[in-house]
Structure 1
């Protein structure tokens, strides 16, 4: 059984349903255009996620974002490409 909050209008149509899993942001790292790793703490019963947000315009350049690996205990990022250059990025991470 899970706890939640549901509101309905007079016709029974759901207006708000907060009984589903909601995401929880835990933090962010800035890559500074170099490879790295950082310790994180994702609860064992949750699913981790991350979002990469470039801090530079890459539309007209050969800039590349890093590859990211997120586990329950660490987040790591690695720039590995044949051409182009590393984009400085923020990586936001959390769980749902």
Structure 2
């Protein structure tokens, strides 16, 4: 959904565009600290996908890492990647919210 203000010239061209797109969350998935994938619902026509990763543990205190996320069509995959040099790193349990705008 778009909301805002549009002003047009007499010839129909846009003179001022102060619209914004309001996002719509479609769902979420928990990673359980492991690589994985999910099938997402189809998008409404003309909409773009977004995702947001929220850690379910304290990343700073426990040295957890969030996964990288890839979306292609209706398929979402996530994978953890971090340096094995050193100690204390682990794949943090995260929740990935997804939706459209």
* TM range, smaller chain: 0.7 to 0.9
Q: Which residue number in structure 1 is paired with residue 92 of structure 2?
A: 87
Q: Which residue number in structure 2 is paired with residue 47 of structure 1?
A: 48
Runs (4 or more) in structure 1 with deviation over 6 Å come to none
The Cα RMSD (Å) is 2.2
What is the count of residue pairs matched by the alignment? 83
Question: Does structure 2 conserve the Cα–Cα contact (< 8 Å) formed by 1:49 and 1:93?
Answer: yes
Displacement, 1:29?
Answer: 0.4
Q: Which residue number in structure 2 is paired with residue 65 of structure 1?
A: 66
Deviations 1:34-75 (A, max 9, x none): 011111123352111111000000112321000001233111
TM-score of the aligned structures, taking structure 2 as reference length: 0.71
Structure 1: tracts of 5 or more residues without a match: 7-18
Structure 2: tracts of 5 or more residues without a match: 6-18
